[in-house]
Structure 1
Amino acid sequence: MPGLLLGDELPNFEVETTAGTVKLHEYFGDSWGILFSHPRDYTPVCTTELGRVARLSGEFSKRNVKLIALSVDNLEDHHGWSKDILAYNYEKSEGSELPYPIIADSKRELAVTLGMLDPVEKDKDGMPVFIIGPDKKLKLSILYPHTTGRSFDEILRVLDSLQLTAQKRVATPTEWKPGGCVMVPPNMPEDEAAALFPIGVFSKELPSGRKYLRYTPDPLDRKGCEPPPAEPELPTSLS
């Protein structure tokens, strides 16, 4: 079974977490959500990752995002490990809690049902990230091998793009960040684009003569911008 695919609705599982029993739909509410798993508690790479997420929790809150982690270990281990994660962040652990709950999925039933374990990576403890929209549908999934720590700064960047493109009829180019140029969909007529983006739409000249690389300033930032610089020309030969 492929599990949860882009556009599928997240099943409303009832799960045991470090914050008590929750149902996923009610937990996420009207917010965006991130569900991320890790193979085991007390593992080095995941300790740095969960610590990073804790440090970035304010940034996720600004974006109306609720976080929840998932591991195969039990609640007792989760609570004990949480103190190590907080200590990694140079915070006093006594009386402190992580700013997000951790699901206890000791039988991997939830992870398998959602397809969070890749057929190739599942025996290597793959570490997926799911981004869920306010409509409870999957907007993005990424699977990392257990030896490569996840970049949650990149997850924030992706969230900014997902939230922008959910509100506005634009796309975001490679390496885009808020305030940068966005792209006008190629199927949008020029008169409609001019009306929708009054700040201006400009095209990059291409050898084909087709004007499909069309840029406009970030509609949520409303500042002028320049299109990304062209990549340097590749040499025509090795001589």
Structure 2
Amino acid sequence: MTLTIGEQAPDFEAETTEGTIRFHEWLDGSWAVLFSHPRDFTPVCTTELGYMASIKPEFDKRGVKIIGLSVDPVENHARWAEDIAETQGTAPNYPMIGDKDFTVAKLYGMLPAEVAGDPTQRTPAQNATVRNVFVIGPDKQIKLVLVYPMTTGRNFDEVLRVIDSLQLTANHKVATPAQWKQGDDVIIAGSVSDDQAKEIWPDGWAAPRPYIRIVPQPQ
């Protein structure tokens, strides 16, 4: 079953490059990004892991943990990290799950339940669906699901932008419009009546249509 927004992120125990973790304990009330890869030593994923490592300070500033996953054993991750450092300039500085029994990939709906065997004997194409990004909130609920093909590298700047929106809208009764970025105007949430909005925004709002109520981003 594919996970959807609002569902609880499944818990699991897994071996990682930073030791064995219990996922919900590792979250520890933080936001998190779990992003997956079909196999180690794949070209597009190599660039993604390196870029994610280079912008990890941006996730840290937002209180967001990062964790990667590949259906390879952890010892392969260690060798891959050397390649990533040499070719991308930055080695992974976050844990990488060794999902060699496909447990996490199945829990998160990325591989069918019947998949079994030696992961190192599977081709990346056989694991093509293991290219997801999950953003998970402090309440352990799924807030975002992105699924990418193997031939398209992921845009982690966009993931940061979405996290900015998610964190803003979790704390204020607003939504963010198309192409929104930090500091831009926002839209009063549809769940807020005009009477309620007048209490929150006594100076009013711009309304090109009654259902589009634009205000400055709350600080």
> For residues 25-174 of structure 1, what are the structure 2 equivalents within 5 Å?
25-91=24-90, 98-117=92-111, 124-174=128-178
**C-alpha distance in 2, partners of 1:118/1:216?**
45
Consecutive unaligned residues of structure 2, counting only runs of 5 or more, are: 114-124
**C-alpha distance in 2, partners of 1:11/1:126?**
16
How far residue 88 of structure 1 moved from its aligned partner, in angstroms, is 2.5
**C-alpha distance in 2, partners of 1:123/1:51?**
21
How far residue 187 of structure 1 moved from its aligned partner, in angstroms, is 4.0
Paired letter, 2:174: V
Give the SS at the match of 1:204.
strand
1:199–1:217 contact (8 Å) kept in structure 2: no
2:7 equivalent to 1:8: yes
2:50–2:89 contact (8 Å) kept in structure 1: no
**C-alpha distance in 2, partners of 1:90/1:188?**
47
Paired letter, 2:93: P
- The answer to which structure, 1 or 2, has the higher relative contact order (CA under 8 A, 6+ apart) is 2
How far residue 195 of structure 1 moved from its aligned partner, in angstroms, is 1.6
How far residue 28 of structure 1 moved from its aligned partner, in angstroms, is 1.2
Residues 107 and 57 (structure 1), Cα distance of their counterparts in 2 relative to 1, 3 Å cut: same
Q: Which deviations, in whole Å up to 9, do the C-alpha atoms of 1:83-118 show, x marking residues without a partner?
A: 111223325xxxxx6220100111322111211349
Paired letter, 1:114: Y
**C-alpha distance in 1, partners of 2:34/2:53?**
14
**C-alpha distance in 2, partners of 1:88/1:57?**
18
Identity %: 48
Scaled by the length of structure 1, the TM-score of the pair is 0.81
In terms of fraction of residues, the more helix-rich structure is 2
**C-alpha distance in 2, partners of 1:154/1:106?**
29
Q: Which deviations, in whole Å up to 9, do the C-alpha atoms of 1:14-72 show, x marking residues without a partner?
A: 11000000011111111101111001111110000001100110000001000000001
RMSD: 1.9
Q: Which 4+ stretches in 1 moved above 6 angstroms? A: none
Paired letter, 1:110: V
Residue 188 of structure 2 corresponds to 184
1:9–1:138 contact (8 Å) kept in structure 2: yes
How many residue pairs align between the two structures?
208
Residues 203 and 105 (structure 1), Cα distance of their counterparts in 2 relative to 1, 3 Å cut: same
1:118–1:126 contact (8 Å) kept in structure 2: no
1:202–1:215 contact (8 Å) kept in structure 2: yes
Q: Which deviations, in whole Å up to 9, do the C-alpha atoms of 1:125-182 show, x marking residues without a partner?
A: 4410000000111111010001100000000001001111111110111111111011
Residues 50 and 199 (structure 1), Cα distance of their counterparts in 2 relative to 1, 3 Å cut: farther
Residues 198 and 56 (structure 1), Cα distance of their counterparts in 2 relative to 1, 3 Å cut: farther
Give the SS at the match of 1:21.
strand
1:67–1:100 contact (8 Å) kept in structure 2: yes
Scaled by the length of structure 2, the TM-score of the pair is 0.89
**C-alpha distance in 1, partners of 2:127/2:17?**
26
Residues 135 and 24 (structure 1), Cα distance of their counterparts in 2 relative to 1, 3 Å cut: same
